[in-house]
Structure 1
Amino acid sequence: MKIITIGGGEISELETLELDYFICQQTGKAKPKALFIPTASGDADGYCRTFQNIYGERLGCKVDFLLATKSNFSQQDAMQQILSADLVYIGGGNTQKMLSIWRDYGIDVALRQAAQNGTVLSGLSAGAICWYDAGLSDSDRFTASEGTSWSLKRLEALGFVAGVFCPHLDKEQRHEPLLNLVRASRERSIACDNGAAIFWENGVARVLTSLPNAYAYIYSEQFGEVRVDRFSSGDRLPL
């Protein structure tokens, strides 16, 4: 199973281009079939155009889209799209809403089967959280009324890889909330800055980066304290 989980970065501004190229390489295909699933963004048109520009025009993929929130969505077609793709990329946005829609339509089951068949799985932010046991999610931000406070929270995900994942560590003040989560739950957590990613292959995790000074981290509880270890591009995580 190959999974690439990206902590963040603007795909349209080429901040993740090295990671995007790496994702395509992992398929072993010269012109891979890339399936974009932007459920977390409500299947935003602009996001789809950006993905086509990067993965289609720049990286040479044959791009398809699974639009689970659109009126012409077909569950049967979605299953076929997922199982025929060489790589699946999940976009960012509302993780909780995305996972709920996937479970309603069996998309989560199809993704697991695709992974077992050798499809490369990938994604950014919500699209990275989804593959782990759980994530530190900002999903409540999308439903909070204007002026109403909301908090980052632990959100159960698909469990394809072990641990809790936290994206955007360097950009969205997530360090303290993640410390509190690990201290309370004693769960080992993995965090990534924007421009950093974790490449999982057959249970082994390695750090990739596309921006300078981007790192990955492991937060672990030890004797009532939380230890934070930082890892650079190319490092293997001791998991």
Structure 2
Amino acid sequence: MAADHPTILATSGGWRSGHRTQLEFGPLIHHAIALSGVTGRRPRLCHVGTAGGDQLYFNAWVDEAARVAGVEVSHLNLFPMPPTADLADFVLGNDVVWVNGGSVANLLAVWRVHGLDAVLRRAWQAGVVLGGVSAGSICWFTGGTTDSFGPELRVVTNGLGLLPYGNGVHFDSEAARRPAVHAAVASGELPATYCTDDGAGLHFRGTELVEAVAERPTAGAYLVERDAATGVAVESALEVRRL
């Protein structure tokens, strides 16, 4: 089973505290699964924790969350080595790939060492839904603002580029994010940039935005563009559908 078109759900959310477990799948992760169109069996989700160093404790939390949700989960750990010599077979056997947060700069470097960047492009073209939170959102774009290098935000411009835009995350919860995006767009370091508050996500079909969605009642989404006449970054709020 695969989505009808290449599909990405780029978010600043997805996880929530569990009732009897540390984590549960939030509405955004459930939405990613729904976008895959899977029916008649348990959905298959590949969790990728590269940005956080493939922490085994977090894998265990994801396993518990998947059990509660009735989802079959696998973990694509690249530390200390990949789980298989055939990463394409491993990834393309899933309905959804969900990439967790952490260091997007480290994530991109490690993925390229193992050729996972090409595998994920192939999965996207095949209709495997690609999604994630924070670093797992920025990675699909040309780049975005990140604290990968330290507490002062910097801009990465070597994202996978499946989506030809910039990406900003945590717009409402980290005060430095919005001005950093505006500065990068105004200078031309980033192209037009789609951004999310915590709990919001952006659904792309191919490279076109379908809609912004949110699992929180006030979470917003935005587009920041450079005004060619003035060189100033202009922010527009997007309509958001509540999940």
Q: So what's the TM-score if we normalise by structure 2? A: 0.86
Distance 1:45 1:12 in 2: 18
Deviation for aligned residue 1:179? 1.2
Match of 2:79 in 1: 69
Q: Does 1:159 align with 2:166?
A: no
Name the amino acid aligned to 1:165.
Answer: N
Q: 1:96 to 1:113 in 2, by over 3 A?
A: same
What RMSD over aligned residues (CA atoms) do the two structures have, in Å?
2.0
Paired residue for 1:34, among 21, 27, 45?
A: 45
Letter in 2 for 1:121: L
Inter-CA distance 133–60: structure 2 relative to 1 (3 Å threshold): same
* 1:231 corresponds to which of 198, 217, 238: 238
Deviation at 1:232, TM superposition (A): 3.1
- Compare the two structures and name the one with the higher helix fraction: 1
Q: Using the alignment, how far apart are the partners of 2:214 and 2:26 within structure 1?
A: 10
What's the counterpart of residue 172 of structure 2? 170
1:95 to 101, 104, 114: 104
* CA contact 1:15–1:210 (8 Å) conserved in 2: no
Deviation at 1:211, TM superposition (A): 0.5
Aligned to 1:105: 114
1:135-185 deviations in Å (ceiling 9; x for gaps): 1111102xxxxxxx6333233200001110011011111111111111111
Q: Which residue number corresponds to residue 3 of structure 2?
A: none
Runs of 5+ unmatched residues, structure 1: 142-148
* Alignment: residue pair count: 226
CA distance in 1, matches of 2:63, 2:104: 22
Structure 1 position 123 matched with structure 2 position 138? no
TM-score scaled by structure 1? 0.88
Q: Is the 8 A contact 2:96 2:129 kept in 1?
A: yes
Q: Distance in 2 between matches of 1:231 and 1:50?
A: 33
Residues 66/16 of structure 1: CA separation in 2 closer, same or farther (3 Å cut): closer
